[in-house]
Structure 1
């Protein structure tokens, strides 16, 4: 494949403001960094929202509204709204923005899992906001819930809006969960699998696991029925994406997944990470897919059929 879809996950719900000054938290920061990431080569923007006063993850559609329209006006990028939010949000809150705005894409975690990042607290002595330390240290008790009923609800509700999904698979079992919904007819090709490595609670960041996840997906779905992409947490980000691109896959970068641009150096922005992966894939003879090309590859409804 000569075209590589680059997704940029701009802010996420796990990292906190203390961890990096570059992490966008206000609507204007999220819009600015999203636009810059699109200009750098990202075809898809994976978006969460945060309380602008303190950077805490939120599912409030009123906050999403402040940056979605700005991004749409200034880019042609595919907007992908999370249905994951954070592990502390109930399903109804996680779904509010997607239901209201009916984007071209939503993320969809393909199962329930432990989701922990408490190890990050050991590197921090002083926190900017009161909510951060208990949120991070308390993640040793987090379970991200997406039962089969939850997943079916999201597929049905958002499917009625013509929204397609970034099927986030944190382990091999999530591929089998996806196969279950394909068998039920709730997921139809072409679909988009995001393989995720290095989250504590999910499959480990070993390249053998990448090979196994890809071969399992090929066996379950047939190579012509899906597009696949890879993200890896923290220091594993660029090595895994390089390997995925070598294997013909797509890639995801962004400050949601890693706060760094190289060992020990914090990234200045999401766009900096996009620029780096663009250089890497071009060295391999590939080119970043444009938003129009990504829409064609993924069978999306188009930016004129969203409600923002």
Structure 2
């Protein structure tokens, strides 16, 4: 059991759209402010996507990330983690552009191709703030999110070997753990590495506590003590699964990328509100909250002085 729990916060993502919540950060100023507040609330790792400030659609251009990365770094010592997932509509080169430009301490890395389906959300709203939102969601019914073995190897070699980036290995299903084991066996991924188990995305493993245990038991069998475990659960499952993860010796991720809510039927007012809630739950259960420096030490990160922003 670790001495403390690492809280990651995913600030805006590319799943939810502006119609769904007024709290969803869209502009660079909003993303920066939300990130700094989440870090002050206890998040040791801040997971970042970018959006077009005019209409909130997901973007991947380095110039867009440059509008908030330096401000966040100046405002907090949290680990800044840039997405290489981007969105299902982006090419691999587009998804990697910001990470290549800024060489952060961490990046996310999807560990396999799968159906990433969020089209069901389109039926929940009668009107939209922007014309792009509904077609963007509906299109995912016919999309496979590609993350081939060649793609994964390219990301590891380009960002890991080339720029000293370490990864949050996002595993949406059991097979993704075996994909990761393949790269560990090849010597391309070295311990300690973070395994982020993700539950509740249509196309990935479902939200069932037996699945939570199965993912943990499989990772233990494949990786032993070489990995650091964390859990994401979508929507209403966010807080219960985060709590269960910590009780099993793992770490947690919250944030408006993963859930827009703070309680049953109640939209969250901010990312920091979610961080504060899980921090309070864990503290009441007797767990300490990891600092950014503790996270860096456990994950063997290169340090914020060695990034390109």
State the TM-score, normalizing by the size of structure 2.
0.99
Show the counterpart of 1:90: 91
Match of 2:183 among 181, 184, 189: 181
Superposition deviation, residue 2 in structure 1: 2.9
Q: How far off is 1:122 after superposition? A: 1.6
- Give CA deviations for 1:219-247 in whole Å, capped at 9, x if unaligned: 1011x211010000001111111111111
Deviations 1:120-142 (A, max 9, x none): 11210110011001001221112
CA distance in structure 2 between the partners assigned to 1:142 and 1:16 by the alignment: 18
Q: What is the alpha-carbon root mean square deviation over aligned residues?
A: 0.6
> C-alpha deviations, 1:262-303, integer Å up to 9, x for none?
010000000000000001111111111000000001010000
Structure 2 unaligned regions, length at least 5: none
Say whether 1:133 aligns with 2:134.
yes
Matches within 5 A, 1:18-33: 18-33=19-34
CA distance in 1, matches of 2:265, 2:218: 34
Q: 1:293 maps to which residue?
A: 294
- Tell me which residue corresponds to 1:251: 252
- The answer to whether the aligner puts 1:200 opposite 2:202 as a matched pair is yes
- Counterpart Cα distance in 1 of 2:139 and 2:237: 24
State the distance in 2 between where 1:262 and 1:2 align.
28
* 2:77 match: secondary structure: coil
- The answer for unaligned runs of 5 or more in structure 1 is none
Q: Deviations over 1:62-83 (max 9, x none)?
A: 0100100000001000000000
Give the Cα separation in 2 of the matches to 1:258 and 1:173.
24
Deviation string for 1:193-231 (max 9, x for gaps)? 000000000000001001010110011011x21101000
The alpha carbon displacement at 1:253 in A equals 0.1
User: Normalization by structure 1: what TM-score?
Assistant: 0.99
Superposed counterparts of 1:224-239, under 5 Å: 224-239=225-240
Determine which of 167, 170, 188 is the counterpart of 2:169: 167
Q: 1:100, 1:191 → 2: CA distance?
A: 23
Task: Check whether the contact 1:2–1:285 (CA below 8 A) recurs between aligned residues.
Answer: no
Q: Does 1:36 align with 2:37?
A: yes
1:60 alignment counterpart: 61
Q: How many corresponding residue pairs?
A: 307
Alignment partners' CA distance in 2, 1:179 and 1:19 = 37
C-alpha separation in 1, matches of 2:21 and 2:288:
30
| Matched residue SS, 2:163 | coil
